[in-house]
């Protein structure tokens, strides 16, 4: 596959659907951004694609809003198609991270994903197919460029998988500040089937941190495009509307932009060094890697990962806490490794004065809870800036 969108074009394709949120379903919409309209014609397709957001009110009244736009290529992209999908505002964004939506669903590649993302994608999929079929049924050489920001990046990932299977065309995926979509199997299958993946992030954006392990980004062993370095956690770094960082930073060509490796590294943390930890994306990643390392060292990683597909999100951390307690009881070395992990988690979550004095299931589960609450709290605040 030769043709990929320039970074700035991809960023504006992800940004443009926000202007279509209140456009009626099927009504024509042409983005303002010349970076997009110089390569794609949106007046020749079926108009704005609506979907049902995840909020309780939207479901109750079956309210739909504009989520996606489709453009037909021109010039050097004449045989290609562009699909841009927006994120959601706070009212529906909050619902993605609540226990009410804490379940798994099966994606089109037969792997487990977060049900909140899958439900919205399924609500827009029939209309998306109606628009893509005339453009792709007799156009096997055309490349489909899928782009999305925030939760729209998660939807773009699901769309890319489905388009690849449904039409067989080459697919390029461009996400900006997107959360993790599915479990390990989904990430592996995504990186194996989607022809090009550009996962663009600001280093201090909290939204790409969630959902936490065992959710993964794809490709697992690839690298993400780092638009700015990590300086802690900054909720304003997530916004594409109120902060022009994405559309201004994604300049030049992809090879000109900085890369960050996404490979899971072996990390073992020790209790007496816990105050080195800080509330940052860097330490969130280290904590995740340390937990994975602990389970791997104890020979329990595979079994615990499988447990997620059986128990679901809501009870997974109860199962995980029980497993970590068992690991701590295996040997004094494992107990110290567990104590170090919990101590760092507490400092990360702002519980700097809380000492680890026991390694019981109840205490371990509490540490997991306060750590997760700290992560999701800033992710919700960042998504609020999308609206």
Rounded CA-CA distance 107/202 in Å is 27
Please, which pLDDT band fits residue 32 given cuts at 50, 70 and 90? confident
Look-up of token digits 């970590």? 324
Query: pLDDT tens, 123-138?
Result: 889 999 999 999 998 8
Name the burial class of residue 79, with classes exposed (0-12), middle (13-18) and buried (19+) by CB atoms within 10 angstroms of its CB: middle
Mean pLDDT of the chain: 84
Do residues 293 and 340 lie in contact, with contact meaning Cβ atoms separated by under 8 Å? no
Between residues 90 and 179, the one the model is more confident about: 179
* CATH number of the structural domain 7-263: 3.40.50.1820
Q: Count Cβ neighbours within 10 Å for each residue of 301-340 and write b for 16 or more, e otherwise.
A: beebbebbeeeebeebbeebbebbbebbeeeeebebbbbb
Helix pair angle (313-328, 301-311), 10° resolution: 150
| The pLDDT of residue 239 | 80
| In the predicted structure, residue 211 carries a pLDDT above the cut 80 | yes
Task: Give the start-to-end residue ranges of the domains of the chain.
Answer: 7-263, 271-380
Between residues 269 and 140, the one the model is more confident about: 269
Rounded CA-CA distance 12/23 in Å is 18
Query: pLDDT tens, 242-277?
Result: 555 566 666 677 777 777 666 678 999 999 999 999
The token duo for 93 is: 């964004």
| In the predicted structure, residue 60 carries a pLDDT above the cut 60 | no
Which of 295, 283, 368 lies closest to 337, judged by CA? 295
Which of 28, 96, 21, 27 lies closest to 65, judged by CA? 21
Rounded CA-CA distance 287/344 in Å is 8
Most confident of 76-90, 173-187, 343-357: 343-357
Please, which pLDDT band fits residue 153 given cuts at 50, 70 and 90? very high
Rounded CA-CA distance 252/272 in Å is 45
Please, which pLDDT band fits residue 385 given cuts at 50, 70 and 90? confident
| The pLDDT of residue 57 | 37
Do residues 289 and 269 lie in contact, with contact meaning Cβ atoms separated by under 8 Å? no
| The pLDDT of residue 287 | 95
Averaged pLDDT for residues 4-23: 88
* pTM as predicted: 0.89
Which of 197, 56, 225, 86 lies closest to 151, judged by CA? 86
DSSP of 229-280: ---S--GGGS-SSS-THHHHH--S-GGGSEEEE---------GGGGGG--SS
| The pLDDT of residue 56 | 41
| The pLDDT of residue 23 | 81
The token duo for 40 is: 């794609």
Which of 5-19, 298-312, 362-376 bottoms out in mean pLDDT, i.e. has the lowest? Answer: 298-312
Between residues 24 and 64, the one the model is more confident about: 24
């Amino acid at each position: 596959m030769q043709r990929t969108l320039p970074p700035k074009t991809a960023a504006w394709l992800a940004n443009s659907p926000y202007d279509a949120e209140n456009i009626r379903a099927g009504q024509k919409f042409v983005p303002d951004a010349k970076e997009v309209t110089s390569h794609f014609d949106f007046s020749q397709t079926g108009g704005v694609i609506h979907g049902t957001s995840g909020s309780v009110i939207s479901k109750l009244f079956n309210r739909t809003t504009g989520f996606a736009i489709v453009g037909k290529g021109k010039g050097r992209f004449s045989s290609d198609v562009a699909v841009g999908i927006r994120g959601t505002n706070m009212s529906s964004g909050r619902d993605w991270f609540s226990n009410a939506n804490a379940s798994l669903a099966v994606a089109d590649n037969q792997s487990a994903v977060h049900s909140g993302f899958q439900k919205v994608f399924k609500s827009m999929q029939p209309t998306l197919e109606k628009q893509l079929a005339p453009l792709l049924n007799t156009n096997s050489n055309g490349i489909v460029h899928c782009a999305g920001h925030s939760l729209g990046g998660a939807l773009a990932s699901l769309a890319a998988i489905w388009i690849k299977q449904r039409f067989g065309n080459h697919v390029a995926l461009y996400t900006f500040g997107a959360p993790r979509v599915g479990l390990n199997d989904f990430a592996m299958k995504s990186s194996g089937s989607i022809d090009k993946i550009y996962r663009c992030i600001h280093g201090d954006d909290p939204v790409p941190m969630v959902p936490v392990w065992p959710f993964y980004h794809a490709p697992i062993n690839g690298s993400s495009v780092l638009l700015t370095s990590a300086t802690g956690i900054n909720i304003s770094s997530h916004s594409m509307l109120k902060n022009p960082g994405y559309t201004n930073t994604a300049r030049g060509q992809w090879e000109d932009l900085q890369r960050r490796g996404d490979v899971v590294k072996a990390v073992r943390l020790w209790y007496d060094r816990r105050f080195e930890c800080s509330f940052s994306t860097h330490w969130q990643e280290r904590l995740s890697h340390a937990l994975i390392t602990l389970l791997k060292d104890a020979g329990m990683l595979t079994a615990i990962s499988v447990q997620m597909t059986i128990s679901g999100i809501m009870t997974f951390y109860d199962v995980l806490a029980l497993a970590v307690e068992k690991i701590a009881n295996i040997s004094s070395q494992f107990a110290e490794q567990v104590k170090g992990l919990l101590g760092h988690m507490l400092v990360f979550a702002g519980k700097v004065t809380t000492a680890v004095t026991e390694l019981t299931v109840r205490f371990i589960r509490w540490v997991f809870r306060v750590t997760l609450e700290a992560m999701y709290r800033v992710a919700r605040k960042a998504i609020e800036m999308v609206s």
